[in-house]
């Protein structure tokens, strides 16, 4: 039985005051469903990680970073290492978000190194994958997702894989208000799980949490969560509103 997982990706939003205020409201809401099973994480910008981690320290809410570099230290101006993220209280780290792939230009190879470095540094990576609109329209979805999984996880042992969460986020659904239908999402989640079973084995593939992301809102999360291979969500815009994020958590909790 996979424990549902809801993570909020705050992207480049909030400030030193509003980040703490937002997470404090999430902590209060989370405490009200403390008896139910759900993993909750928030991913603020780097500069607010420490303050947010302090604010959640006595709660069940975990903190994740939105990115990480794959070297341990040294002359990498502007980058942040896994050890630094651990040091300020991170448990999770998002790797390969579509905005980093398509705006910043990260490749599958870089993302693979980030996953390996994150795991070596004791962080739990969330590997984001998903096709562009043009790729979907050209019937390339399965091919793109397969490549992103194979290359993103290349060289990872089964033991390491068990610490990874996958997030399927069709790029055309991110920040657009256009969600994949539950059937469209389920079809790709199934494909991902079958691929993991092929690369590793079925019992391990059955353990891996696969989140859906892309315009997840309180009014569409329940039908997405009802799909057999959807284990939670990676929430962008709606995670910036405590009430909306809590409603999504509430509907995922079992």
- In the set 175, 194, 201, 219, which binds ligand PGA (CB under 6 A)? 175
Shortest separation between residue 201's beta carbon and ligand PGA, angstroms? 29
| Choice among 97, 135, 189, 250 that is catalytic | 97
Nearest 5°: the CA angle 194, 159, 76 is 100
At 153, list the tokens: 């996880």
Separation CA 88–CA 189 (nearest Å)? 33
Is 17 assigned a catalytic role? no
Residues 6+ apart with CB under 8 A from 121: 68, 72, 81, 82, 83, 85, 86
Is 137 assigned a catalytic role? no
At 2, list the tokens: 């996979």
DSSP string, 67-99: ---SSSSSS-TT---HHHHHHTT--EEEES-HH
* Closer by beta carbon to ligand PGA, 10 or else 200: 10
Phi, psi of 253, deg, nearest 5: -65, 145
For residue 183, count CB atoms less than 10 angstroms from its CB and return exposed for 0-12, middle for 13-18, buried for 19 or more.
exposed
* Closer by beta carbon to ligand PGA, 101 or else 200: 101
| Choice among 99, 131, 169, 250 that is catalytic | 169
Decide if residue 66 touches ligand PGA (CB under 6 A).
Answer: no
Shortest separation between residue 161's beta carbon and ligand PGA, angstroms? 21
# residues contacting ligand PGA (CB under 6 A): 13
Residue 17, number of CB atoms within 10 A of its CB: 10
**Residues from 134 through 173 that contact ligand PGA (CB under 6 A):** 169
- In the set 49, 236, 247, 249, which binds ligand PGA (CB under 6 A)? 236
* Closer by beta carbon to ligand PGA, 5 or else 200: 5
Binding piece for ligand PGA, criterion CB under 6 A, among 44-52, 66-74, 84-92, 233-241: 233-241
**Residues from 16 through 35 that contact ligand PGA (CB under 6 A):** none
User: Are β-strands 124-129 and 61-65 bridged in parallel, bridged antiparallel, or unpaired?
Assistant: unpaired
User: Are β-strands 61-65 and 92-95 bridged in parallel, bridged antiparallel, or unpaired?
Assistant: parallel
> Shortest Cβ contact with ligand PGA: which residue?
236
Shortest separation between residue 109's beta carbon and ligand PGA, angstroms? 22
Among 14, 8, 115, 122, which residue's Cα sits nearest to residue 68?
Answer: 115
Decide if residue 214 touches ligand PGA (CB under 6 A).
Answer: yes
Applying CB under 6 A, which residues contact ligand PGA? 9, 169, 174-175, 213-216, 234-238
Which amino acids are annotated catalytic?
A: 97, 169
């Amino acid at each position: 039985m996979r424990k549902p997982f809801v993570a909020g990706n705050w992207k480049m939003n909030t400030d030193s005051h509003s980040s703490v205020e937002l997470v404090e409201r999430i902590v209060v809401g989370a405490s009200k469903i403390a008896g139910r099973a759900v993993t909750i994480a928030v991913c603020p910008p780097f500069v607010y990680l420490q303050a947010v981690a302090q604010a959640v320290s006595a709660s069940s809410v975990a903190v994740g970073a939105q990115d990480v570099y794959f070297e341990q230290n040294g002359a990498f101006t502007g980058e942040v290492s896994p050890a630094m993220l651990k040091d300020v209280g991170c448990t999770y780290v998002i790797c390969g978000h579509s905005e980093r792939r398509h705006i910043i230009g990260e490749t599958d190879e870089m993302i693979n190194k980030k996953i390996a470095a994150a795991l070596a540094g004791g962080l739990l990576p969330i590997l984001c994958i998903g096709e562009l609109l043009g790729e979907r329209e050209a019937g390339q979805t399965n091919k793109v997702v397969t490549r992103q999984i194979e290359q993103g996880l290349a060289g990872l042992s089964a033991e390491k894989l068990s610490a990874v969460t996958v997030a399927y986020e069709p790029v055309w659904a991110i920040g657009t208000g256009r969600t994949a239908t539950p059937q469209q999402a389920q079809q790709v989640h199934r494909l991902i799980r079958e691929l993991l079973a092929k690369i590793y084995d079925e019992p391990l593939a059955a353990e891996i949490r696969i989140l859906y992301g892309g315009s997840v809102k309180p009014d569409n999360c329940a039908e997405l969560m009802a799909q057999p291979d959807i284990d939670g969500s990676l929430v962008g815009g709606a995670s910036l509103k405590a009430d909306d994020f809590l409603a999504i958590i509430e509907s995922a909790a079992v």
